[in-house]
Amino acid sequence: MTEKIIIFDTTLRDGEQSPGYSMNTAEKLHFAAQLEKLHVDVIEAGFPSSSAGDFEAVQMIARKVTNVELAALARTSKEDIDAAWGAIKEAAHPRIHIFIATSDIHLEHKLRMTRDQVISNAVEAIKYAKQFTNNIEFSAEDGSRSDRDFLCKIFEAAIAAGATTVNLPDTVGYAIPGEFAELVSYIKDHTPHINQAILSVHCHNDLGLATANTLASITAGARQVEVTVNGIGERAGNTSLEEVVMALHTRRSSLDFFTDINTREIYPSSHLLVMITGIPVQPNKAIVGANAFSHEAGIHQDGILKHRDTYEIMEPATIGLETNRLVLGKHSGRHAFSERVKSLGYDLPRDTIDLLFKRFKELADKRKEIVDEDLEVMVAEEILRVPDTYKLKYLNVTSGTVMVPTATIQMEIKGKEEQKAGFGIGPIDATFNTIAEMTGSQSKLVNFSIDSLTGGTDAQGSVTVRLEQEGVQTLGKGNDPDIIVASAKAYINGLNRLVHLKKNHFPEKKPK
């Protein structure tokens, strides 16, 4: 009989705490809504005790999503559990996820506790959380490097205390598939009452084996997998949601399992994450990379033209990637525009469509063709924007081999228009120097990247900056056919986010 695999998505927790992937509350809300459309079973929305901002984001997600379970992470302390419950208590289907390390190396060097003390802490925490909800998950951190008999013992105690899911993490990506499958089988065979709980796995990709380990654990008896979109996460990342789901979908003859994932939302989810974080997927990434359904070799092209199955084991449409895309231009009307936006997965109110259509017409006057990526940039900028303390009104840059790069900028700063000129070693440096002087910003530019969203010399450029001030980091994003303008927009967007974070006491920091 075909069995269901529960998809536990931790993009907003484990994924978001990796370097470069911080999201503000609005971005987390928008991505949580997309995960609900993707039909994941559980969303781990965050670690509420780590910061006031994370608590607020989890709480707002709990109020918004209704069709999935919502999990919040907690250590074994009552304070952590209180914070987790406080954040998710309004969720339609709340889950408290409690963890403590179980490997001897963690017990000796991090926790400085005995095995018996760890079991006692876990049991007390689960019993305490049980007063809030019956949906409790317990994780044995660094499980793959833990003594297998101790794992059985602590899982038995956790289940007896009330845990309904027990999770085996390969926290540092140390396991290899055969070894990990054997460990899962051993736990299944030697843990009393293991059938009273769901056995879950959480794999990291340090050796590039996260997906392989996860699939091996499924064949050995795991029925929940903890994954992230695009495989983002600490260090080398987590198990990739799209890889596990499509492996099960594509290889049904060998893997007799199913998920409830709406596979046509895989590519939109991947692309939205890129739009929010500004970090692109590598071109050769399985399933969602730009080259995943591309064929350049003549032999491959010949085979594809004769029969698709010769070199493609999946149809692009299965993951929501349409090979034939509607191209819009300056003569396109509001109806075609709104229908195209809706087909991309954005059901927006009329006033937002009106604003976006105006921006679309302005861009269409500059460029011959407007494609999906352009529309998604507009949507992301509009629905994920923060209040504008600073607005760019005018930018003029002069640069060349025989002149000092100069930027003349007019901005609206807190409602007042100001103008200034400044210099730099290049046009973008001059622009940034002038904006920093006008705004009085003391922020440090940690990272600066440029990408082309479409082909051609008139392609829309996408600039991402990472700014840091007083220990707080945030992203700024800007898009424009003129890369210098895009850079200015990205820098100003980052400065606006810093102001917004400071005003709302929401530092984009990660739990230790």
Predicted confidence band of residue 511 (pLDDT cuts 50, 70, 90): very low
Query: Which of the two residues, 342 and 494, has the higher pLDDT score?
Result: 494
* pLDDT (tens digit per residue) in 24-51: 888 899 999 999 999 999 999 999 999 8
The CA distance from 355 to 349, in Å, is: 10
What is the reported pLDDT for 181?
98
Specify the range with the lowest mean pLDDT, choosing from 52-61, 381-390, 420-429. Answer: 381-390
pLDDT score at 508: 44
Which of residues 152 and 388 earns the better pLDDT score?
152
Mean pLDDT across the stretch 455-468?
A: 77
More confident residue, 78 or 511: 78
For 275-303, what is the mean pLDDT? 74
| Among 177-181, 428-432, 506-510, the least confident range | 506-510
Between these two residues, 382 and 358, which has the higher pLDDT value? 358
Select from 235, 259, 233, 256 the least CA-distant residue to 246: 259
Mean pLDDT of 169-184: 98
Contact (Cβ atoms closer than 8 angstroms) between residue 403 and residue 439: no
> What's the pLDDT score for residue 259?
98
Top pLDDT among 112 and 363 is at 112
Q: What is the pLDDT of residue 466?
A: 85
Confidence of residue 116 (pLDDT cuts 50, 70, 90): very high
Please determine, for residue 373, whether its predicted confidence score (pLDDT) is greater than 70. no
Q: Are 381 and 348 in contact (CB under 8 A)?
A: no
Distance (Å) of CA 281 to CA 225, 231, 384: 22, 10, 20
In this prediction, residue 90 has a pLDDT band, given cuts at 50, 70 and 90, of very high
- What's the helix, strand, coil split of the chain in %, to 5? 45, 20, 35
State residue 506's pLDDT score.
46
Does an H or E element contain 389, and which? none
pLDDT at residue 111, as a whole number: 96
Question: Is 509 a residue whose pLDDT tops 50?
Answer: no
14 compared with 476, residue with greater pLDDT: 14
411-434 confidence digits (pLDDT tens): 999 989 999 999 999 999 999 999
- pLDDT, residue 299, reads 56
Q: State residue 301's pLDDT score.
A: 52
419 - beta bridge partners?
410
- The yes-or-no verdict on residue 292 having pLDDT over 80 is no
Q: Are strands 461-469 and 444-452 parallel, antiparallel or unpaired?
A: antiparallel
Average pLDDT, integer, range 355-378: 78
Do 233 and 14 touch, CB atoms closer than 8 A? yes
Does the pLDDT value for residue 302 go beyond 80?
no
Give the separation between CA 325 and CA 372, rounded to whole angstroms: 8
The whole-chain average pLDDT of the chain stands at 89
Using DSSP's 3-state secondary structure scheme, residue 497 falls into helix
pLDDT at residue 141, rounded to an integer: 98
Give the whole-number percent of the chain exceeding pLDDT 70: 89
Taking residue 353's Cβ as centre, other Cβ atoms within 10 Å add up to: 19
Q: Is the pLDDT higher at 480 or at 105? A: 105
pLDDT(7) > 70: yes
**Rounded mean pLDDT of 203-210?**
98
Query: pLDDT-derived band of residue 317, with 50, 70 and 90 as boundaries?
Result: confident
How far is C-alpha 258 from the chain's CA centre?
Answer: 23
